[in-house]
Amino acid sequence: MFNFDVVPGDSVLNILRNSRGDVLDIVARTYRSHESGETINPDSYFLRFPEKPDSRIIALPAFLGAEAGLAGIKWISSFPRNTESGIPRASAVLVLNDYETGYPIALLEAANISAARTAASAAVAAKALRPDGCTGTRVAVVGGGVIARNICDYLHAAGCAPDAYVVHDLHEPSAHALAEHVRATQERPASVTSDLGAALEAETVVFATTALEPYVHRPFAAGQVVLNVSLRDLAPEVVLGAQNVLDDVEHCMKANTSPHLAEQLTGNRDFVSGTLAGVLNGEVKLTADRPVVFSPFGLGVLDLAVGAFALRKAREAGTAVSVPNFFGETRRW
């Protein structure tokens, strides 16, 4: 009952890199569980800093359900200026709690968990929204950071095999690094463009930036699939011109995300077609006459599900570090 494990980042990273197929299944399954009401996913809580308006630390509490027997919280920071020093923008920890007693049972390095679940959600969406696959198409990635790299890895793991990738980033070295990563890991053509407009013409467009407000005002065309992972790149009129699939409607309609701006502009949510789980379950039908935009706000239940998997694998591999006597008192008297 009073065991407590710490799972360091190198263990988490190795587990997830070798388990992308499992993570894709976990994310899809957790979306369905969340849709059916088996999980609890309260609002995320944002700690902001007046002198650093681009930075924040976010708390994502969640309950994975009685069958899983786990609750927990991810505490993740996003400090975009870190990249100027060559270090990742995000860092995070995940605490897992036992549902029976409420006691925490583990602490995991979670930047890798967060990146994996984010990328897997994008790949699950791509597979669902492009059921005929990506052959004969191009994938454009706007943003060349850690999340973009993970998305490319998970698209590959999900069987998305485009004819080519094109990468756009304001920081050209990052764009070239991502293109080289795709060429090396997928043996697939990948080029870099400084022309955002050219990137936006690809059949599938992935946004993985740190943008704080919209800069894309041109509409997408029928048949295009947009993975709006960074959530704030698209102007509301672009959202209104598309079929919109969200991971969780209430969660997406806050913090001035592109869907939230569209709601503020129109005063309604009529532009929302449904959730990704609804698409997976066959309950949401999309048409070919308009583009599709997938906007995932990011659910704490996904972090818990992927984190629980990483904890189990780390224990099996002996890479979870047990902390003796973590709890100072284990008896009331």
Q: What is the pLDDT of residue 83?
A: 87
* Check whether domain 5-113+300-322 has CATH 3.30.1780.10, yes or no: yes
Instruction: Supply 71's token pair.
Output: 């609750």
Q: What is the pLDDT of residue 267?
A: 98
Residue-wise pLDDT tens digits, 30-51: 999 999 999 999 999 999 999 9
Residues of the chain with CATH 3.40.50.720: 121-295
Q: 105 and 262 in contact (C-beta within 8 Å)?
A: no
- Indicate the SS3 state at residue 331: coil
Positive or negative, the CA dihedral 273, 210, 87, 145 is positive
Q: What is the pLDDT of residue 1?
A: 75
Q: What is the pLDDT of residue 31?
A: 97
End-to-end, the C-alpha distance of the chain in Å comes to 17
Residues of the chain with CATH 3.30.1780.10: 5-113+300-322
CA distance linking residue 249 with residue 271, whole number of Å: 11
CATH tag for 121-295 (out of 3.40.50.720, 3.40.50.300, 3.30.43.10, 3.40.630.30): 3.40.50.720
Give every residue of the chain whose pLDDT is below 70, as ranges: none
- Provide the angle, in degrees to the nearest 10, between the axes of the packed helices 111-129 and 300-317: 120
- Residue 213 carries which DSSP code? S
Identify the H or E element spanning 293: strand 292-295
CA distance linking residue 262 with residue 269, whole number of Å: 8
Q: What is the pTM of this model?
A: 0.95
User: 81: how many CB neighbours lie within 10 A of its CB?
Assistant: 12
Q: Which positions ≥6 away from 190 have C-beta within 8 Å?
A: 164, 165, 166, 167, 178, 179, 180, 182, 183
Q: What is the pLDDT of residue 279?
A: 98
Q: Which positions ≥6 away from 290 have C-beta within 8 Å?
A: 222, 241, 242, 243
Residue-wise pLDDT tens digits, 196-228: 999 999 999 999 999 989 999 999 999 999 999
